[in-house]
Amino acid sequence: MSALPETTMSAGQDFNGFSIKAVTPLEALRSVAYQLEHKKSGARLLHLHNQDAENLFSVSFPTPPPDNTGVPHILEHAVLAGSDKYPVKEPFFEMVKMSMATFINAMTGSDCTYYPVASNVKQDLFNLAEVYFDAVFHPLLTEQTFRREGHHFAPLDPEDPTGDLTITGIVYNEMKGAFSDPESRFYRSISRALLPDTIYGKESGGDPDAIPDLTYEGLKGFHRTYYHPSNSYFFLYGNTPTPEYLAFLSDKLNAFNRLDVDTSIKSHLRWDQPRSIIDTYPIGADEPSTEKTYLAIEWLIGDATDPEDVALLYILSLILLGNEAAPLKKAIINSNLGADIIASGVGGIGRESTFSVGLKGSESDHIDDFVQLVTETLSQIAESEIEPERVEAAFQQSAYHYLEIQSMFPLHMMRRVISSWIYDRDPLIFLRMNEHLSNCKRRYESDPQLFNQLIRSRLLTNSHRLTAMLKPDSQMQSRIDTAFAERMKKTRRQFNDDQVKQIAAEAEELDRLNSQPNSPELLATLPQLKVSDLPGQLTHIQTEVEMIDGVELLQNSVFANGVNYLVLNFNLKGMPSELWPYLPRYTEAIRKMGAAGMDYEQIAQRSAASTGGISCRTDFGTCIGDASHSLWNVQFSLKALDDQMSSALEVLHDLLFSVDPRDKNRLRDVLLQAQARYRTDMVYDGSGTAMSHAARGLTVEGYLSEMVYGLPQLSLVEGFNNDFEKCSEDVIRQIGSIRDFLLVRGRLTASFTGSKSAATTVQNTLKDWISDMSNEPINDASIDFKPFGDPPREGLAAPIQVAHCAQVIPAPHYSHPDKTPLTVGAHLVRLEYIMNEIRFRGNAYGAMFNYSPLGSTLSLGSYRDPHISRTLDVFSGVADYIREVEWTQTDIDRAIIATAKQFERPIRPEAATGQALYRHLIGQTPELREQYYAQLRRVTPQEVKRALLELLETNFAKGAICVVSSRERLEAANQEMPTQQLIIEEILG
């Protein structure tokens, strides 16, 4: 982005059927905002015009949910399944297959549904806009689509068409997954209970118990009412001139007359008494229920369409909870009432602002103590002086939050505009956050009691407060299963054998339709790019490499809007094997412990006052030229404003050179937090757990990833906590050993993006640091990696109502010439076979077929899946599918275009800093990127087929399988696969 673009139209003019309501320059965003209305249809349009090449087209509709059937969510899925002009099955997935979209999706919120697409290629964006416009305004909405996306009956056993029935459907399974995750379940029930008498008291995503009540007529009626131009909000972003959009939309919108659509959302009446709710969630039948209760307090505190109020409350939330030393956060952690804070701070439900404090890993009899602790702590804070440094730090943090050019920047802009616009407020108010922040600052300066007063008025004396508890229940799963089985038996009795045969026949017909690919003639109706339309040359990050006493410093020239970004990479090569399992404890110590003689509170305060955040993570990969050339790294990332670069670097220095884990009380809290996080992540991100577990015996990187991020960490940390006195010394010692191990010159590479003055500060500082590091040579140390003999078939049991299946097989490395046809082929197989079989026919929410050239693996997976053995059969059928399919060059070209987008991501400063470093480390020069890009554009169907078959025929049998699901489902799957049993093990003891 450079300067403000010239304005081409002015307010009061008419243009192509639109009247121009306002033209507003927005200096801080280097943009001009055009607000228009389409005269005949009443459609509203806002274009944020600037020099950014990433253009976004979106249309959004307020969609107040009438009940808990999830009609807005099911409609969001269903409109993307074929339209008048594009009567193909799933044009959405066809466009994913063949476009360069940097973003393509649809989202259902609590009161609004969004359809955004973005691309760096102008013709591509207009193609996507064509398909999206027709999808939302002229969808086919067939009954089959409703049944597949929403819900339908099917025989429980397809071999027994007059036997018991079951319910399936994509949204139905998606929401079953969402409801069996306790955290997601908890937030949903809190939001509904806080605003019971408004539309926010309804579940817009759909409650699995209520989804089957939605009728096909109900779905169509909801579309007729709300998906009309008079209820539409078009938000556009980027460098395409506004008149081009108006020309594109004018004729299309002229087909509609204005309609009165009432989507006004009333504010909630405030309660005069606090309320409370108790809910339960299923855990394993034999699982102990201790330390598994969730507690929360949530207040309704303000108007989410008032930007100054939103900014003030955000700053208040940072003061109270924004870092490890923030007083409310600290009081809750120190109380030991639970393991860790969850989802706390200011938030929003539609047009209402909320504030919440949540605790996980607690007990139900702690609820009164928790409420008392929170209110007493808030009173104490309100009654004493809030240190000005603390407030100042919170202002700083909010500046990063609102001003940074993040990735998916156009989408963030859409969110901000919509969040006031659909409530009839000025759509530009959330684009002027710098002005609102200055106003907040002025208010604070003239009234230093401002935040004390807010704590009193918005929290302490506010009776619109909900206390919520979510308790574990070891019998709940069996109750759910029994109730569902009874419901299905009752349903079955309502039908005679002929009717139920009819249901089975319809389910089979739906399956047959879902299994048929689109004909080439139909696909040709979709607007699409040609390979020759792709940019001839790639955009590269402009990077210069400078040497500072033998250490490389990359300087990237990317516009960063006053924020500076630094990444330090330390190579872990040669780290002694006993230290590896402690790596997560080291990175955690950087984020949560003290350093250099200061306790964790002092460090956290310094970090909040002078940086936009310091993070630390590990990464295991390989170089592009050689699979055996491993790259195992620890990376520190820092961001800071210009005038704070020196003090930010001082904090980083203290952590890097002198992180100190010896505060045992703090260490104990940190380890309990880690355990609570692992317990939920490992189960509810079950697909990640399954993938990592299956990959652990294939490559050394897979082995290390599993050790550092996977299941072994859960039992390790549980062990530390069970015998803290004995283990803590060991944890402290190993963290110290990793710290000392890293401080070697030859391990370090740095990457910087930002201003000239900050660059100089970085150069000088690094020089000092390097002189304090040892100069010893880097040695290899062997990793104790034992590859799988016979690849295992494993089941990990956990209390969830769906399955996550994974199969990971060894695949050629990046350095192998087949990486290009395999990359294109994996994209095709995922969208044409795996997605079709697992999502559209199997009704799982997600399906994967990912080739990782740098990880040397091919991963097949399903996500929130109602099936296990069927899905594993689909995996086994992939080679047969490839043998039979006849891809044309047109099919391959579409996949080339979609694959090419990974080369043309927009360059945003933070991501670019890491990206430039990553490319440098793996040896991917601009020349090699161009070479790969050129190879990609020449791929042929023959090559793709040969490469995929060669890989599958040689390696498929070497693939390991892992499924995360409930024990009942895993055992049932084993009954269906008597010769290929899964070995079942519990995830949680």
Residues in contact with Zn ion by the rule CB under 5 A = 174
CB of 230 to Zn ion, least distance (A): 26
Distance of CA 51 to the CA centre of its chain: 28
CB of 267 to Zn ion, least distance (A): 28
Residue 174 or 794 with smaller CB distance to Zn ion: 174
SS3 of residue 361 by DSSP = strand
Give the alpha-carbon dihedral of 519, 524, 528, 529, to 10 degrees.
Answer: 100
List C-alpha distances in Å: 568 to 407, 705, 762: 20, 21, 11
Helix pair 724-742, 711-722: axis angle to 10 deg: 130
Residue 174 or 891 with smaller CB distance to Zn ion: 174
Residue 168 or 807 with smaller CB distance to Zn ion: 168
Closest CA to 172 of 155, 152, 145, 143: 152
Residue 114 or 423 with smaller CB distance to Zn ion: 114
DSSP E strand boundaries for 910-950: none
The upper half-sphere exposure of residue 855, i.e. CA atoms within 13 Å in the direction of its Cβ, equals 22
Residue 174 or 588 with smaller CB distance to Zn ion: 174
Q: Would you list the DSSP string of 755-768? A: -HHHHHHHHHHHHH
CB 887 within 8 A of CB 869: no
CB of 113 to Zn ion, least distance (A): 11
CB of 521 to Zn ion, least distance (A): 30
**Which residues pair with residue 294 across a beta bridge?**
470
The residue sitting closest to Zn ion, measured at its beta carbon, is 174
Residue 139 or 914 with smaller CB distance to Zn ion: 139
Distance of CA 732 to the CA centre of its chain: 33
d(CA 496, CA 485): 18
State the CB neighbour count (10 A cutoff) for residue 782.
8
Residue 115 or 851 with smaller CB distance to Zn ion: 115
Q: Is 833 exposed, middle or buried (0-12, 13-18, 19+ CB in 10 A)?
A: buried
Structure tokens at 147: 């049944």
Residue 170 or 603 with smaller CB distance to Zn ion: 170
CB of 107 to Zn ion, least distance (A): 8
CB 237 within 8 A of CB 428: no
The amino acid that residue 317 corresponds to is S
**Which residues pair with residue 742 across a beta bridge?**
none
Distance of CA 336 to the CA centre of its chain: 30
The amino acid that residue 226 corresponds to is Y
d(CA 243, CA 254): 16
Residue 370 or 845 with smaller CB distance to Zn ion: 845
Residue 32 or 80 with smaller CB distance to Zn ion: 80
SS3 of residue 508 by DSSP = helix
CB 2 within 8 A of CB 30: yes
d(CA 41, CA 45): 12
CB of 106 to Zn ion, least distance (A): 8
CB of 206 to Zn ion, least distance (A): 9
CB of 572 to Zn ion, least distance (A): 39
d(CA 79, CA 893): 27
CB of 204 to Zn ion, least distance (A): 11
Distance of CA 987 to the CA centre of its chain: 24
d(CA 241, CA 382): 51
CB of 495 to Zn ion, least distance (A): 29
d(CA 449, CA 380): 14
CB 177 within 8 A of CB 801: yes
Distance of CA 489 to the CA centre of its chain: 39
Residue 60 or 356 with smaller CB distance to Zn ion: 60
Residue 177 or 754 with smaller CB distance to Zn ion: 177
Residue 94 or 174 with smaller CB distance to Zn ion: 174
β 793-797/857-863 pair status: unpaired
Residue 206 or 791 with smaller CB distance to Zn ion: 206
The amino acid that residue 298 corresponds to is E
CB of 589 to Zn ion, least distance (A): 38
Residue 174 or 352 with smaller CB distance to Zn ion: 174
φ/ψ bin of 864: left (φ > 0), alpha (ψ from -120 to 50), beta (otherwise): left
CB of 751 to Zn ion, least distance (A): 37
Closest CA to 829 of 884, 870, 872: 884
CB of 792 to Zn ion, least distance (A): 33
Residue 174 or 837 with smaller CB distance to Zn ion: 174
Give the alpha-carbon dihedral of 862, 865, 869, 871, to 10 degrees.
Answer: -40
3-state secondary structure 384-416: CCCCHHHHHHHHHHHHHHHHCCCCCHHHHHHHH
**Which residues pair with residue 471 across a beta bridge?**
280
d(CA 678, CA 713): 8
Residue 111 or 174 with smaller CB distance to Zn ion: 174
Contacts of 465 (CB under 8 A, 6+ apart): 271, 274, 275, 297, 298, 299
Give the alpha-carbon dihedral of 251, 254, 256, 257, to 10 degrees.
Answer: 170
CB of 363 to Zn ion, least distance (A): 34
Residue 168 or 398 with smaller CB distance to Zn ion: 168
